[in-house]
Structure 1
Amino acid sequence: MKKIVCLLAGVFACFQLFSQGVDFKSVSLKEALEQAKTQGKMVFVDCYTTWCGPCKMMTEQVFPQKEAGDFFNTHFVNVKFDMEKGEGKELSTRFKIRAYPTFLLLEPDGKVRYRIVGGGDLEEFIGRVSRGLQEKNSLPVLDKEYTTGKMSKRRMLDLVMTLQDAYDADRLKVVADELVKRLTFNEKVSTPYWVIYEDNSLSPLTSDNFSFLLKNKAAFEKNVGETKVNQKIASAYSGMLYSYVAGFAKKEDMPRLDVMKQQLDEYDLPDKTYLQTKLALAYARCNEDIDQMITLLKKEIYNLPQGELWTLATSLDFVKKQGNKTQWQQVAELGDQFVEAAKAEDLKGYLKSYFSSFKKLASVGVYWEDLTLEQALKKAERGKRMVFVDCYTTWCGPCKYMTSNVFPQEAVGDYFNPNFVCLKIDMEKGEGPELVKRYGIRAFPTFLILRPDGSVYHKMLGSGEADAFLKRVREGMEEEHSTGYLDKLYDEGNRDKDFLTRYVKSLLAIYEEDKAKEVSGVLLGLLEESEKVDSNYWFIFENPTLTSQKSDNFKYLIDHRVAFIQSLGKEKIDNKLYSIYYNRLSYILKGYDKKSKVEDVVYMKKEIEPYKLEKKKELLACMKITEAYMEKDVKGLYASCKKGFKLFHDDEAMNIAFPVLKYLNSEMKEKNKFQELVNLLLANIENESLKEYLSKNMEG
């Protein structure tokens, strides 16, 4: 057994010896500290978040390197924690993590020896960590020396560097200012103290440190090197100019630009041409000269440093509010050049997404994003908006009308583009079929207004003219009118009669038939008998979906016919009964209802016998025709049609007669008799278009 254990230990040791990169242990911090104590090491903690770019850079590019593994695996037990999940949340509070990435060097007892904020290339980063490994560079040791008031200048420099690594800006400035006051001229321009003048936070363009650097540029170049000094000066100018280009500086700050222009003309700095371009952009931004900014960027776009593309692109943000459609279009076109100039694919993606907002603003009519629904939801979340989805099909006439006549209108675009991320999705292609199921889409066009989490805020059906459509959308954006809000109230248990009435009507308007049946059933269960026959609730019995011929609502209508007539009038009740029977007969003849039998039609005839319906003759004629059609009795069908067609008008002609004539056209041998029926039908049709259609399609 001992041999097996030794063998496994040897294999594990070899695996560690030949492994690449930093070996981050999947253990708790407590377990890591125990391992460090056993192994005589310290603990290295990577405090990261999933959204932090520098964190990802360190994880993907720095820590996997063999040299990183050789260094960190030798000196530390390495662990990493997401500061927004699990143990990371507690550690974030415990160690006061304020920025990402933060790296902690912990003693085996859990005390912080050294803190490093921010990543970097491997060689530079190992240098910072190596400083931290020396206990003399730890903040507790340095602070103890500092409080004595007898700290040497070199040790104060160590404190400055430790505070730089810890990103403790306030204390850093105090200590650095105190140190600079103690330095001789020769010390100030020497290499060891260059870190003070190189630090942008300690030597910004307007500081005494930077003035000293400019005044003694030659001395710094001699000791530190011309390249480093010029890069620092160029960096300082670039940073200050960015504050102008980005709009942080005010117009009254422009005299400072004149000073920078004079200084830039004097010094031969790296990227001087670019700095002069940035200076010109700063002047244009301060003057809010949109056209000049567009002209400058258009001219220099392919000469701009890659690292500055995003910075300069976003400097145009103010144009969204202060520009006009022409300028938005120019910026949108400039955006295409920015994307083309970018080399990194992720930068291209960011730029494309950023400039899409200008394309949207420049658009006359609704701007449709080229995104998946998931991408659109994420974009909506970032912009604190909602997603508007046009759920269409290629064969849908009203869909085409909206696309051609409503959405291209400027007034419609002016409302939609700032308020929504807009998508058009064919419900029969790509992700469309899945969305049909997900959102219960039953008719076209359907319009969805979705929250960034993908839930329905509001749902609408059907086309309309621009003004009416905009009114519907605006009303839907008011929470109390939104379908999502009504769903929420119902699910939370609201059973107020007025609310349920409004909810059922809303569901019917968007063809949520199953839900409408459920809610209307709840509503009817709350009503008194006298209320059920009241006009306020007639919409339930009037609706074909809620009151079909086989439904409980229909039975209630039949059983309480007299009460309904007394409340609403005979004409309304008769017309409703007629339409219920008529619709079922039409569905049978058109082939939509394949379950009904001849016996069902016979029963219907008996059912209406006691009723003195206004259109009873027409309805009986429809029933006799349907009965003969279902029995495939050609002679009986001919006789029924000859008698019934005399009573038919436009609606019956299309929904009852037309499917029957299609059948007779193929079954009747006497074509003259068939034509006789056609002529008889056409004689009663008033709509000329319908008459023309039937004539063309019913030639004997």
Structure 2
Amino acid sequence: MKKIVCLFIGVFTCVQLFAQGVGFKSISLKEALEQAKAQGKMVFVDCYTTWCGPCKMMAEQVFPQKEAGDFFNTHFVNVKFDMEKGEGKELSTRFKIRAYPTFLLLEPDGTERYRIVGGGELEEFIERVSRGLQEKNSLPVLDKEYTTGKMSKRRMLDLVMTLQDAYDADRLKVVADELVKRLTFNEKVSTPYWVIYEDNSLSPLTSDNFSFLLKNKAAFEKNVGEMKVNQKIASAYSGMLYGYVAGFAKKEDVARLDVMKQQLDEYDLPDKTYLQTKLALAYARCNEDIDRMISILEKEICNLPQGELWTLATSLDFIKKNGNKAQWGQVATLGDQFVEAAKEEDLKGYLRSYFSSFKKLASIGVYWEDLTLEQALKKAESGKRMVFVDCYTTWCGPCKYMTSNVFPQEVVGDYFNSNFVCLKIDMEKGEGPELVKRYGIRAFPTFLILRPDGSVYHKLLGSGEADAFLKRVQEGMKEENSTGYLDRLYEEGNRDKAFLSRYIQSLLSIYEESKAKDVSNVLLGLLDESEKVDSSYWFVFESPALTKKGTDQFKYLIDHREEFIQSLGKQKVDDKLYAVYYNQLSYILKGYDKKSTVEEVVNMKNEIRPFKLEKRKELSACIDIAEAYMKKDLKRLYTCCKKGFKLFHDDEAMNIAFPVLKYLKTERLQEDELQKLVLVLEANIKDESLRKYISSNM
């Protein structure tokens, strides 16, 4: 008797389809029982789960058939319950459901008459249900007879079949063994008792029942039919060989393979060629000969039965731990052949997913999954990992550097592939723009480490060399350093000064400037005057994002300049003041700052005069250039540049001079005058590549 039973969580996601066949009603069990009583019927209950493959097969292929509807709708009020949701949870406990699918035949009073575990083809399944409709075949009735000790052999066979349907393996073996001892030779080889020898749990390859079957094969063939007998024998060998191929058998059991080889040579069985292939795989697996297993499958892949593709594919699982990169690569390539050999799209999908793990292992460098973020999160959840997302754009130079120089490195790939499900997502295409909004991405490249629920565990920005980048990621994987952990502590009300300092610096590192500003205001509000000018909190005032012209922090820095100098030294304070003015002037000339006025720029000279900065001449030259630029006074701008460029070095050349030169070129300054300015500027530039860059663009 063939059964399809799902005992363990598989890789299948099931969608229950309600077709024209069996009319399953969306009502409670109580309502179903009431309707059954009123209609003089029984209740048929389909106990399923969403992940169960055989449940899906019954829902999609068996129950929608007209013949199924004709039978079940006539005899039953039909209901189905997901055993992991709603009322199904309570029913699972109440009826002790342990395998899926399980089908219950209930009396109108709610008592169980019959149970069928496992699905099957419609005709066979209806036969099993029809047996259950007969009260004499119910377990309570049969048990009562059995306890008398006077049960006939025919009724014991009924009990065996009922226990088979209920999948009560322990009781089934006891009753079946007792029955076999009572049978005569002719009864054993007769058709009615064939169910005992056909059942793989009662007649495994190493059992007395199977030995009896082999010894009396001709007698069984005469009564039962040659095809059925040969199919049973082939099935027994196939099941036993799978145990070897999957690694369940011990090395000392290899001797049993020699016996099977002799028997296989002796009998003309269906799928004999495949069984011999499986035998060869079993020998190779027992000897842990990975190369031999791969070689056999490469040669025989096209000859494998469709029903065995998944089981043989997953038998290669041990290679993940015992193989090397070359072998993982071979298995990955073999996986493509498995996918091509599969006929059903669902099976192709399962195989692609399974062999992707070998592609990841074989990868030199980071293995990027071809998944959506939602799919990656689900995969991460099942593998108890996190998702690493490279948020890039096609025009981003540092993004290209990471793709070309860092992620392909083996040491990086080994770490990332073993710890993450890795994705590359263009932030300007597909789901990228939505992710930009969802995760507040403001610069590229941004790297996200996401929990399986999609929340941020850690965020990193910017490129770097492999060793340094790997170290940053590894440090971020420590919970106390992760941005997600720091966010949570702050939201929970942590206002410890040391924590706030660490949190602000973390926010600045990922360009969360707005939030960093808010948190820095909280921190400054907790500090007394002596603490504010202390070196421990200088990072707030030193940060270009937090302390720029017009901010409260900059005003405080100006008002308490002397205290800062006493605490930190004049050089550090002067450098910061210079940077504030210099950055603003640079933003004006680059076109980033369109709010500043000419008057504000002119007033800068008066503001910086009391500071007596070391680079006050350079800064004054920048102010003059910016003033002339804003007034669109080309003649004065040329004069200021000619004078100021003599003071500029590499940084000023790139951020002040170069934008002005581009502007003058646009405004059609005479070529000879433009080149004179370039020559003046180049005289003080030390970086040869910068000198060439400016020259080539002018």
**TM-score, normalising length: structure 2:** 0.94
Kindly provide the amino acid, as one letter, of the partner of residue 88 in structure 1. G
The amino acid of 1:245's aligned partner reads V
User: Helix, strand or coil: the match of 1:201?
Assistant: coil
Q: Label 1:377 to 1:45 Cα distance change in 2 as closer, same or farther (>3 A).
A: same
In structure 2, what is the equivalent of residue 510 of structure 1? Answer: 510
1:391, distance to aligned residue in structure 2 (A): 2.0
In the alignment, the residues of structure 1 paired with residue 306 and residue 331 of structure 2 have an alpha-carbon distance, to the nearest angstrom, of 19
Partner of 1:78: 78
Corresponding residue for residue 473 of structure 2: 473
Shift of 1:575: 0.9
Summarize deviations over 1:339-381 as a string: whole Å, max 9, x none.
Answer: 2211111111222222222222222222222222222222222
The question of 1:58 aligning with 2:58 is answered: yes
Task: State the shift of 1:620 in Å.
Answer: 2.7
* Distance change (3 Å), C-alpha of 1:645 and 1:266: closer
Change (3 A) 1:293 1:673: closer
CA distance in 1 between counterparts of 2:213 and 2:675 reads 106
CA drift of 1:202 comes to 0.8
What is the correspondence of 1:31-180 to structure 2 with a 5 Å cutoff?
A: 31-180=31-180
The letter of the residue matching 1:542 is E
Specify the alignment match of 2:622 in structure 1: 622
Deviation per CA, 1:121-145, whole angstroms, max 9, x where unpaired?
Answer: 1111111111111111111121122
SS of aligned partner of 1:448: strand
Letter in 1 for 2:155: R
Q: How does 1:183-332 map to 2 (within 5 A)?
A: 183-332=183-332
Give 1:670 shift: 6.2
Distance in 2 separating the partners of 1:380 and 1:440 = 22
User: How far off its partner does 1:249 sit?
Assistant: 0.3
> What CA distance in whole angstroms lies between the structure 1 residues aligned with 2:551 and 2:130?
82
Cα distance in 1, alignment partners of residues 676 and 300 from structure 2: 82
Output one character per residue of 1:466-520: Cα deviation in whole Å (capped at 9) or x when no partner.
2222222222222222222222222222222222222221221122222222222
Q: Cα distance 1:197–1:672, how it changes in 2: closer, same or farther (>3 A)? A: closer
Shift in CA distance, 676/243, structure 1 to aligned 2, threshold 3 Å: closer
Q: Find the aligned partners of 1:411 and 1:691 in 2 and give their Cα distance.
A: 37
SS at match of 1:610: helix
- How far apart are the structure 1 equivalents of 2:203 and 2:556? 87
**Ranges in structure 1 where 5+ consecutive residues have no aligned partner:** 1-18
Amino acid in structure 1 at the alignment position of 2:47: C
Tell whether 2:432 aligns with 1:432. yes
Distance apart, 1:666 and its partner CA? 4.4
Counterpart code for 2:694: L
Task: Describe the shift of the 1:257–1:682 C-alpha distance in structure 2 as closer, same or farther (beyond 3 A).
Answer: closer
Alpha-carbon spacing, 1:317–1:676, altered in 2? closer, same or farther (3 Å): closer
1:667 Cα deviation from its structure 2 partner: 4.2
Counterpart code for 1:596? S
How far apart, CA to CA, are the structure 2 residues paired with 1:672 and 1:272? 91
- Per-residue CA deviations over 1:183-204 (Å, capped at 9, x if unaligned) read 2222211111111111111111
Partner of 1:549: 549
Q: Report SS of the residue matched to 1:429.
A: coil
Matched position secondary structure for 2:610: coil
Does 1:453 pair with 2:462? no
1:10-59: CA deviations, max 9, x gaps? Answer: xxxxxxxxx93111111111111111111111111111111111111111
Instruction: Count matched residues.
Output: 680
The 1:670–1:271 alpha-carbon spacing in structure 2 relative to 1, beyond 3 Å, is closer
Q: Which residue of 1 aligns with 2:600?
A: 600
Gaps of 5+ in 2: 1-18
Counterpart residue identity of residue 396, structure 1: C
- Contact 1:517/1:546 (8 A) holds in 2: yes
Q: Distance in 2 between matches of 1:344 and 1:325?
A: 30
Post-superposition Cα deviations, 1:572-628, rounded to whole Å, max 9, x if no partner, equal: 111101111111111111111112222332343443343322222322332232222
Question: Which has the higher mean CA deviation after the structures are superposed, 596-605 or 445-454?
Answer: 596-605
2:570 maps to 570
- AA at the equivalent of 1:99: A
The letter for the 2-side match of 1:216 is N
Aligned-residue offset at 1:70: 1.0
Checking the alignment, whether the CA contact within 8 Å between 1:83 and 1:91 is kept in structure 2 is yes
The Cα offsets for residues 274-293 of structure 1, whole Å up to 9 and x where unpaired, read as 11111111111111111211
CA distance in 1, matches of 2:310, 2:289: 20
Q: 1:602 to 1:273 in 2, by over 3 A?
A: same
Distance 2:666 2:110 in 1: 93
Which SS does the other structure have where 2:550 is aligned?
Answer: coil
Q: Distance in 1 between matches of 2:247 and 2:686?
A: 70
Q: Is contact 1:62-1:122 (8 Å) kept? A: yes
Query: How far apart, in 1, do the equivalents of 2:543 and 2:251 lie?
Result: 66
Which sits farther off after the overlay, 689-698 or 592-601?
Answer: 689-698
* Corresponding residue of 1:364: 364
Counterpart Cα distance in 2 of 1:63 and 1:204: 31
Secondary structure in 1 aligned to 2:80? strand
Task: Decide which moves more: 70-79 or 376-385.
Answer: 376-385
Give how far 1:674 is off.
4.9
Deviation at 1:162, TM superposition (A): 1.1
Partner of 1:401: 401
TM-score relative to the length of structure 1: 0.93
Which shows bigger deviation, 204-213 or 427-436?
A: 427-436
SS of 2:294's equivalent in the other structure is helix
Q: Is the 8 A contact 1:634 1:668 kept in 2?
A: no
Aligned pair in 2 of structure 1 residues 203, 671: CA closer, same or farther (>3 Å)? closer
**Farther-moved stretch of structure 1 (136-145 vs 464-473):** 464-473
Decide whether the 8 Å contact of 1:668 with 1:674 is kept in 2.
no
SS of 2:453 mapped into structure 1: coil
Give the Cα separation in 1 of the matches to 2:287 and 2:638: 87
Tell me how far 1:676 sits from its aligned partner.
4.6
Q: 249-258 or 508-517, which moves further after superposition?
A: 508-517
The CA deviation at 1:544 is 0.6
Deviations 1:159-209, CA, capped at 9 Å, x for gaps: 111111111111111111111122222221111111111111111111111
* Aligned equivalent of 2:653: 653
For 1:33 and 1:299, locate their aligned partners in 2 and report how far apart those are by CA, in whole Å.
Answer: 57
The one-letter code sitting in structure 1 at the alignment partner of 2:519 is: V
Paired AA for residue 183 in structure 1? L
Alpha-carbon deviation of 1:675? 4.8
Q: CA deviation at 1:668?
A: 6.8
Once the two structures are aligned, what percentage of the paired residues are identical? 86
Look up the match of 1:684.
Answer: 684
d(CA) in 2 for partners of 1:679 and 1:260? Answer: 90
Task: Give SS of 2:611's match.
Answer: coil
